[in-house]
Structures are given as C-alpha cells and as structure tokens.
Amino acid sequence: MAYNYDKFDINMTEFVRDNNIQSSTGYLLITSLKDKFTYVYEYKNKWELEYKWSSTVGKTSTPTIKGVFSVGTKYPDIGGDTSSVKYATNIVDDYYYHSIIYDAQGLTIKDDRLGVEISHGCIRLATSSAKWIYDNIPERTPIIIN
C-alpha cells in the first residue's frame, strides 16, 4: 500500500486519517523511526490514538526495517545464552516488537534504555507496553514503520 507520508512525523493522527488506512482487526500499529515512538490506534467510527510509547529502534549498522507489515506470530519470551526479551510480537522475518532486554533467565533487566537507536533492528518497548501489544493486538493487524 502506498501512503502519503507528508504528515507522518508532523501529526500522526492526520497521517492515519488522511490515508484512509484500513484494518480488519480494528487496530493499527505505527512506529516513527525519527521520533522513536510507537503509536497504537483503535478504530471507533474513526481512528483514535490509544497509546504513544517511547521506543528503541535499530542502530545505523542494524537498522529497523521500514515498510508496511502485519502482526505475525507472538512469543512470550525469546532468549539466548546471555539475554532475553519478553512479549515478542513478530513484524516480519527476525524483526519484533518486544520488551527491554533482560538476562538469560528473564529476571534481571540488562538494558532498559528507550528512545534511542541501539537495537539490532527490533523495536524495544517498556515491558508493560510490549505486554499490552502481545495481549491485545490480533495477528494480521497492520504495522507501518517509517
């Protein structure tokens, strides 16, 4: 879908309404890489902003992907030998919305920075925000990242 991005980083609600964005789930997720915010919209006779959350995005060497996607598989946690994340919601391929970084056991916070460009491409959110998406946003919900 080709959208007009003129208002994307100026007035997100106008961007959403002017582009007549459609969603079969009644929700819409948008992340601004410039402003480092993730927006949750719900359709209630018109699109209404429900949440705006500070987000960590990909660093220059491992940027967050841009484009239009839809929510895929969700995982309660994803981990490795040294770190883990909670409430991972797939965007596309290996890109996710997920919590801040925890130790491998998921008990101790290792990195809780938000609003910066330091990830490997995923979009980090406060744990409560990642959980809200995990619990409430259905698969196939549109995602716009720009």
Catalytically annotated residues: 98, 122
pLDDT at 32 over 70: yes
What pLDDT sits at residue 46?
Answer: 96
pLDDT at 1 over 80: no
With bands split at pLDDT 50, 70 and 90, how would you rate the model's confidence at 2? confident
**How far apart (Å, rounded) are the C-alpha atoms in residues 83 and 16?**
36
**How far apart (Å, rounded) are the C-alpha atoms in residues 70 and 86?**
19
Q: Which residue in this structure is represented by tokens 């460009």?
A: 117
Q: Which domains does the chain have, with CATH numbers?
A: 12-145 (2.40.440.10)
**How far apart (Å, rounded) are the C-alpha atoms in residues 11 and 8?**
6
Among 141, 128, 132, 145, CA closest to 65: 145
